Structure 1
Amino acid sequence: MEQRALKKLVESICKTVKSFKKSEVHCLINLFQSLVERSGGRFDKGLDRNTFRGILYSIFGMTDDTLMNRVFFAFDKDSDNYINVIEWIKGLSVFLRGTFEEKLKFCFEVYYLNGDGCISQEEIFDMLKNSLYQQSPEEESDEGISELVDLTLKKMDYDNDGKISFADFETAVRKDTLLLEVFGPCLPEAKNCLHFEALAFRNIMTFQT
């Protein structure tokens, strides 16, 4: 990308993403470009799902297939099956330096997929089954998981409508922050974030802030 276009893109992104300095946005764009090129893609299209899953696995230490797919969809705001450079930087701002509120919204987005803004009993069942299977490959009984679903709803479904709205989720997590990733780890651990920043921003002195 030519320098004038790059500078314009940095300026544009910095208007909406406040958690990174201009020099850091510059670095993240360069990293994005190299990742796209390495995968044989095009900068204007962005990262496809497999490439992005590879990043989640190798850099952020994620191993759960289902959750990696859900994180991809949470990053991919325009639902075109590619993560463009703006989606990349906005998503990373939550991953690396998100406020509690931003992480709350992100986790909720990862956990609901059916578009109605609520996490249904079926989604809770699937996520808990998947999460338990990751921890212990022995087959969990559906009956046991159904009991867990009931317990989860009792703890988090404040309006008793059989599903978890964002208001329910926020109330529950504010009371007990351990519930933030109750349906599986969808945020990277702090050590992996530090590792990513060290990789991404190591050439930061070469850029003007």
Structure 2
Amino acid sequence: MAYQMDLSVSPSADARLRAKARQVFYKMKGSTHFSREELYAVLFIYFKLTQRGPMDKELFEDAIARIFKITDSETLDRIFMLIETPSHRVGPVGWARLLSTFCRGTLDEKVDFVFQVP
């Protein structure tokens, strides 16, 4: 029996979230600064946040404000514009890459990111 990653959801929901995270994990493995466990956890968090629907601008801004204490709406808008998809949503790959840059990125990567923000 596999352990339950998140006790705040039912075992069946936990299994579904783990399966979704695992699918993206194998595509992204090695493309971030995260360890395997960290990347898996970041993806799991993304899929937990998006259980009720896609990560739209409102959900993204709320999550980033809570995680990084960035509350300036103009800054949040600009970050969102960098990683949103054509459907105006944030996908799991964009989410993981953003967190990788913010949390583990080199100084050069962070500077490059800042200058990409419109």
Contact 1:11 1:22 in 2 (8 A): no
- Name 1:102's counterpart in structure 2: 109
- Look up the equivalent residue of 1:11 and give its one-letter code: Y
Larger Rg: 1
Aligned: 1:69 with 2:77: yes
Aligned: 1:15 with 2:30: yes
Aligned: 1:28 with 2:42: yes
User: Closer, same or farther in 2 for the Cα pair 1:2/1:59, shift >3 Å?
Assistant: closer
- Name 1:164's counterpart in structure 2: none
Aligned equivalents of 2:70, 2:19: Cα separation in 1: 36
- Look up the equivalent residue of 1:73 and give its one-letter code: M
Indicate the RMSD between aligned Cα atoms, in angstroms: 1.9
- Comparing 7-16 and 50-59, the one that deviates more: 7-16
Contact 2:56 2:90 in 1 (8 A): yes
SS of structure 2 residue aligned to 1:15: coil
Aligned equivalents of 1:34, 1:2: Cα separation in 2: 7
> 1:1-209 maps to which residues of 2 (within 5 A)?
1=16, 6-17=21-32, 19-37=33-51, 40-41=52-53, 46-76=54-84, 78-110=85-117, 112=118
Q: Give % identity.
A: 23
Aligned residue pair count: 103
Q: For residues 1-30 of structure 1, what are the alpha-carbon distances to aligned partners after superposition, in whole Å with 9 as ceiling and x for unaligned?
A: 37666434212111322x111111111111
For structure 1, the residue ranges without an aligned partner over 5 or more in a row are 113-209
- Provide TM-score, normalisation by structure 1: 0.45
Q: After the TM superposition, which segments of 4 or more aligned residues of structure 1 sit over 3 Å from their partners?
A: 1-8
For structure 2, the residue ranges without an aligned partner over 5 or more in a row are 1-15
SS of structure 1 residue aligned to 2:90: coil
Displacement of 1:97:
0.7
User: Closer, same or farther in 2 for the Cα pair 1:80/1:108, shift >3 Å?
Assistant: farther
